[in-house]
Amino acid sequence: MSTSKGKGKEPATALPLPGPSSGSANPAASLSALWAYLLPALNHIVKSPTNTPDKAPAIDIAFYAGIHTACYNYFTSQSETKSSAQGRIAEPSGTDLYEQLDKYYIDAAREVILGAPRDDSTLIHYIVPCFNRFSAGAMSVNRLLNYINRHYVRRAVDEDKGWLRLNGGPAVTADDSREKISERLKEKRSDELKQWGYKSDGSGATMASAEACAEAASPPDRIISVSSLAHRRFRTEVFEPLLAVPVVKGTKAKNKKIPKATKTTGVPLPKGRLARAVKELLESNGGDEEERSRLVRDLAAALRLVGVRPDHPLRKRLDKFLASPAYVAVA
C-alpha cells in the first residue's frame, strides 16, 4: 500500500477496488461463476492491508452494485429451477453459496493462526489488531452480502435452523398451541441473550449486539448471519486452539485427567497459550499502561463477539481487570 511522504502528512488512502472488466459471462450462471466474481472483493475487504485496521477497504460503487445484482439473480434462478424441476414450492436456495462463504472464513482465520508469533509475550499484540481487521472486514461483507441474510438466513431461522432451535428449547408437546410454543421460545431467547449482556429494558442496539454474540457462540451447523458466521470461525479456528490446554504427556491411559490444583500441593494447572499471554500482560511491570489497558479491553470485546461464553475463566479474568480501580484510573 502506498503512503504519502513528508512530515505531518497522513497515509494515502487506498482507492476502492474496481470491478472486473465487463464481458459476456454471467456471474449468476453458476456457483463457480458467482464465486469467481465475488472472490476479489472478499479478499480486498477481508485481507488487504490497510492503514486503519478498524475499517475495511472499499470497493468501487459499480462493483458493489454488481455484486448485489449477481446475488439476487443467482438466488432467483436457483429458486425457479428447483420449483420447475420439483413441481412444488421451492426449497430455500443459497445453501451452496453460504457454505462456500463459511469455507472462505475458515481459510482466512487459519491464515491468522498460522501467522501467530511463537513468543507468548507478543501474542496479544498480534491477535488484537488481526481480529479488529478481520471483524471490520466481516461487518463490511455482511452489508455487501446482506441479500444472503434476508433471503437465506431469515428463511432458515423460520425453519428452525438458526442459532436458537425449537428442539433445543423448552419442552414442547403435541398439545401445545402455536402461541404457547412461541411464548416459550421467546422466554428461552430472552434468557440466552441475558447471558450476553442484554437486559429486558435494554435498547434495540443492545439486543442486536447480544444476539450477534449468541449467534457466534452457536455450533457450526446453525445458520446465522454473515457477520456472525465470520466471528464464529475466528473462534473455532483461532481462539479455541489458543485457549486449548496442552495435553500432559507421560500419564497413564486410565488417569488422563489433570489433577486439580490445591493449596496443599501448589501444583499449577497447565494453561493454553492465550491464557499464558494474558497472565504475562496483566502481571508485567512498567511499560505503557494505556496500551496494556487497550489490549485487555479489545481482547475482552473480541472474545465476547466471537462467542466465548461469559463464564470462561479467561473472560472472567479480563472482566475482573477491567472492573479494577487500576484500569478505571487509566481509562
For residue 262, pLDDT beyond 50: no
Return the pLDDT at 282: 94
Digit-coded pLDDT (tens) for 200-222 = 888 999 999 999 999 999 999 99
Amino acid making up residue 125? H
Of 195, 202, 199, 198, give the one whose Cα is nearest residue 217.
Answer: 195
- Between these two residues, 327 and 9, which has the higher pLDDT value? 327
Separation CA 137–CA 58 (nearest Å): 10
Q: Are 111 and 238 in contact (CB under 8 A)?
A: no
Digit-coded pLDDT (tens) for 75-96 = 998 866 655 555 554 455 799 9
Measured distance between the N- and C-terminal CA atoms of the chain, rounded to whole angstroms: 33
pLDDT (mean) for 168-191 = 72
Return the pLDDT at 172: 56
Exposed, middle or buried by CB within 10 Å (0-12, 13-18, 19+), for 205?
A: exposed
